[in-house]
Amino acid sequence: METLVLSALGIGLIHSLAPDHWAPFASLAKAQGWSKKKLLFISFLAGLGHVGSSFILGAIGIVLGMGLARLEGIESFRGNIAGFLLIGFGVAYALWGLKHIRDQHFHLTKEQMITLWTLMAIFVFGPCEPLIPLMFLAVQHGWTGIWLTTIAFSVTTVFMVVAQSMLAFMGFNLLPQHSLEKWSHVMAGGVIALTGLAVMLLGI
């Protein structure tokens, strides 16, 4: 059991290194002028939703006696859809930024709030692929094993989502501010779209 929990910690860490776990949040935070506190809250909430959606699917599969292969097929389908949605979101946001490029100062608007919750929804919809196989491996230890494995994986994943988003955000803040300000939304959209494309092409 200890080996499985330690494996869940390690797999959660490695899995979370994928850029779609942090780049979209950091780039949007930079473009929209979020505070560190807001980025922390949003990335934490998104991380919980990300692992939570796969846990619910895995738990339903275990209770109903569904095979791992079938659930992995569902997760793969979710991953492809989420990748396309991330690319589409990034392109749409970049175009929105171009539309408002003449504005010297960007203010938080209803449209920007919609983009935030859209990104959140895409991330929550996106699968946390390694979690379900880990849950199936833990079945031999009963629901206690499933919970311990899920918690170990989830704590690592959520921590990495928050930490990497914060580090990337602070890195973005080191870039020249004034010269890039009006292009921030366009660049954020580009980063998000490229992240989605990279994840789909590399299969991460």
Q: What pLDDT, in 10s, does the model give residues 159-199?
A: 999 999 999 999 887 776 655 666 777 888 888 888 888 87
3-state secondary structure of 32: helix
Helix residue ranges per DSSP H, 65-183: 68-99, 110-125, 131-138, 142-172
Kindly state the DSSP code that residue 141 receives in the 8-state scheme: G
Using alpha carbons, list the distances in angstroms from residue 106 to 33, 80, 112, 179.
9, 33, 10, 14
Which residue has better confidence, 1 or 147? Answer: 147
Of 160 and 106, the structure prediction assigns the larger pLDDT to 160
Residue 104: phi and psi, rounded to 5, are -85, -25
What band does 15 get if pLDDT is binned at 50, 70 and 90? Answer: confident
Q: For residues 69 and 136, which has the higher predicted lDDT (pLDDT)? A: 136
- Which pTM does this prediction carry? 0.79
**202 or 89, greater pLDDT:** 89
Give the pLDDT score at 141: 86
Q: Based on C-alpha coordinates, what's the Rg of the chain?
A: 18
Q: Which of 123, 125, 94 is nearest to 31 (CA)?
A: 94
Over the stretch 59-101, which tens digit does the pLDDT of each residue have? 888 888 776 777 777 777 777 788 888 888 888 888 877 777 6
| Structure confidence at residue 181 (pLDDT) | 66
